Amino acid sequence: MADGRVVHTADRTLSGRQLASLLTPPPEGRFGYRELARAVREALLDGRVALRLRLPAERELAQVLEVSRTTVTGAYDLLRESGYAHSRRGAGTWTALPDGQVPIALGPSQDPAGEVIDLALAAPSGPRAELAEALAEAAAELPRYASAPGYHPYGLPELRAAVAERYTARGLPTRPEQILVTTGAQQALSLVLAQFGRPGDRVLAENPSYTNALDAMRNRGMRVTPVPVTEHGWDTGLVDAALRQTAPRLAYLIPDFHNPTGRLMPREQGRELARSARATGTWLVVDETLTDMALDVPAPAPFAAGAGAGGGEQVLSVGSLSKSCWGGLRVGWVRASARVVTELTRTRVTADLAGSVLDQLVAVSLMRRLDPIVAARLAELRRHREALGAALARHLPEWRWTVPPGGMCLWIDLGRPVATQLAARALRHGVRVEGGARFGVDPGTHEHRLRIPYTQPEEVYETAAERLAAALEGAPGRFVDPALPEWVA
C-alpha cells in the first residue's frame, strides 16, 4: 500500500530518451516542473505513455531534458499528488490515473424511433445492385451444393481460391490452402487468439486500437502491452523496445489506415517491425480489413509482402469483405501458412463447424466484382469525409484533426479531456458518438478524442454537427435518452 492505495508493479520501464521523445515541449522550449508534469499527464491521457509504466529515474530524465534534478523531482511530486503517478520505495515511480477516471459505457438497447444519428459505427451500407446480382448468382449455384452435407470448415474451395488470387495480384503469392474462410474478421482474430494465446500471455497492441480486438484479448485473460500510435504514426524504436522487454506471444497491428487514427505505416517501418518480431519469436497478427480503403494514396501491398526474407512466415493476415462490401455478409479470412491454417481450422470446428455456404457463394460472386465495388466505395467515402469535415469546421471550429489518407474515420482532438461526458450528453441531443477512451488499451486515456466515422449519408453531418455543438455547450437535450448498443465497428 502507498497513501492507502493498492499499488502494482510496473509492467516495463521507459527510458529517459524514450519519454522525452513522447513529450510535447513547452512554448518557451525548456521545461519547468509544472510544464514537465503537464506534458507527462497529456502524454498519458493521449495514450502515448501507457499506464503502469515505470518512469525513468529522476537523474536520468534530468540529464536527457537538460534540466535540474529538482525540476524532475517537482514534476513527479505533482504527478503523484494529482493521481497520475504512484511510487514505492525501491520500486520507482510509475504512471497511473486518478481514482474514478474511467470511461462510462453506454447502456445496451436500441433506438426504436430512429431519431438518433449513429456516428459510432464505421460500417457503410452495402452496394445494393451488386448484392442483388451476387445473391441471384448464389441462389442459382446453391442446388449444386445441396446434395452434400454443406460443411466446409476451411471454406468453400472457390472462395479460398478467389481470396488467394487477390493476395497474389497484390504482390503476395498465395495458395488456396493458405486461406481459412471465417465468419467475419472478428472470428478470424478470435481463432488466432484461441490458437496462439493463453490466459496471462503478453500481447502487444497499438494504443489506440480497434476496441473489439482489445476486448477479445481481455476476454481471453491476456495482458496487453500498449505501444502508441500518434499523429505522426508509429515509433519503431518504442515498438522494438516493447517487444524486447516483454517478448509477447502475439502482436496485433493495423498498419493500413489504422483504426481509429487513419495512419498508414510506411513499408520500411513494417520491415523493421517484422525483424524485431522475428527476433523475439512474436507472431504478428495484421488486420487488413481497411486495406482497400485507400482514399488519397495507392492501395498498399499486403504487409507480409514487405516483411523481408523470412519475415512473412510469422505474419497472420486477417481480412474481410465487411468494409469493401457489406458487414451483413459476415465473410472474412486468415492468410497464413498451410500448417497454421490447418491448426486454426481444428479450433474453428469447435466454435461453429463451418460458415454459411450461401454467404460464401455470394462472396465468390462479389470477389469477381470487387474492383468496381471498391472504386465506387472510395468515391462515396471521399464525399462523406469532405461533408463531415465541412460540417464540423462550421459548427465546432475549435476541434482539430488530421485528414487521413484512407480508412473510414476522423480522430478528433477536442482540445480538452471531455469525450466521455460529451458522448453521454450527445445522446440526449440525438447523436451517438464514441469517446476516445473506448479505443484505449488503458481505461481513461484518449479522453480528449472522439472517433467519428464518415460512413453516413452526406446530408446527415450538418444536423449531427449542430447537435454535437449544442451538447458541448450544455444546452437542454431535444431527445430523451435512448438506450443504444455499446458495441462499435
> pLDDT confidence of 97, banded at 50, 70, 90?
confident
pLDDT of residue 23: 87
pLDDT in tens, 239-277: 999 999 999 999 999 999 999 999 999 999 999 999 999
Given a cut of 90, whether residue 94 has pLDDT beyond it is no
Average of per-residue pLDDT across 331-360: 96
Angle between helices 69-81 and 33-45 (to 10 degrees): 50
Average of per-residue pLDDT across 231-246: 92
Given a cut of 80, whether residue 46 has pLDDT beyond it is no
pLDDT of residue 221: 92
Mean pLDDT of the chain: 89
pLDDT in tens, 369-420: 999 999 999 999 999 999 999 999 999 999 999 999 999 999 999 999 999 8
Q: Where are the domains positioned within the chain?
A: 12-95, 117-122+381-473, 128-368
- Written out in words, the top-level CATH class of the domain with range 128-368 is alpha beta
CA-to-CA distance for 486 and 402, rounded, in angstroms?
Answer: 26
> pLDDT confidence of 81, banded at 50, 70, 90?
confident
199 Cα distance to chain centroid: 21
Conformation bin of residue 280: beta by default, left when phi > 0, alpha when psi is -120 to 50: alpha
CA-to-CA distance for 281 and 213, rounded, in angstroms?
Answer: 21
Question: Which of helix, strand or coil describes residue 346?
Answer: helix
**Cell 485473460 belongs to residue:** 221
Query: 109-144 b/e with 16+ CB inside 10 Å = b?
Result: eebeeeebbbbbbbbbebbeebbeebbebbeebeee
Given a cut of 60, whether residue 148 has pLDDT beyond it is yes
pLDDT of residue 486: 54
**CATH assignment, 117-122+381-473:** 3.90.1150.10
pLDDT in tens, 99-128: 655 443 433 334 444 588 999 999 999 999
> pLDDT confidence of 487, banded at 50, 70, 90?
low
Given a cut of 60, whether residue 51 has pLDDT beyond it is yes
Given a cut of 70, whether residue 58 has pLDDT beyond it is yes
> pLDDT confidence of 443, banded at 50, 70, 90?
confident
pLDDT in tens, 193-206: 999 999 999 999 99
Question: Would the pTM count as exceeding 0.85?
Answer: no
133-137 CB contacts, 8 Å cutoff, 24+ apart:
133/365, 133/369, 134/362, 134/363, 134/365, 134/366, 134/369, 135/362, 137/361, 137/362, 137/365
pLDDT in tens, 292-322: 999 999 999 999 998 876 667 899 999 999 9
pLDDT of residue 110: 44
- Phi, psi dihedral angles at 335 (to 5 degrees): -110, 125
Q: Are 262 and 411 in contact (CB under 8 A)?
A: yes
Beta bridge partners of 30: none
> pLDDT confidence of 288, banded at 50, 70, 90?
very high
Q: What number of residues does the chain have?
A: 489
Given a cut of 80, whether residue 211 has pLDDT beyond it is yes
Which helix H or strand E contains 205, and what residues bound it? strand 202-207
392-397 CB contacts, 8 Å cutoff, 24+ apart:
392/452, 392/461, 392/465, 392/468, 394/462, 394/465, 395/465, 395/466, 395/468, 395/469, 396/465, 396/468, 396/469, 396/472
Instruction: Please indicate whether residue 171 or residue 442 has the higher confidence score (pLDDT).
Output: 171
12-95 domain in CATH 3.90.400.10? Answer: no
CA-to-CA distance for 123 and 102, rounded, in angstroms?
Answer: 26
pLDDT of residue 114: 56
Residue 476 exposure: Cα atoms within 13 Å on the Cβ side: 1
> What percent of the chain has a predicted confidence (pLDDT) above 90?
68
pLDDT of residue 98: 80
Name the amino acid, one letter, at 90: G
Instruction: Please indicate whether residue 153 or residue 477 has the higher confidence score (pLDDT).
Output: 153
Question: Which of helix, strand or coil describes residue 450?
Answer: strand
Pairing status of strand 332-335 against strand 179-182:
antiparallel
CA-to-CA distance for 117 and 366, rounded, in angstroms?
Answer: 29
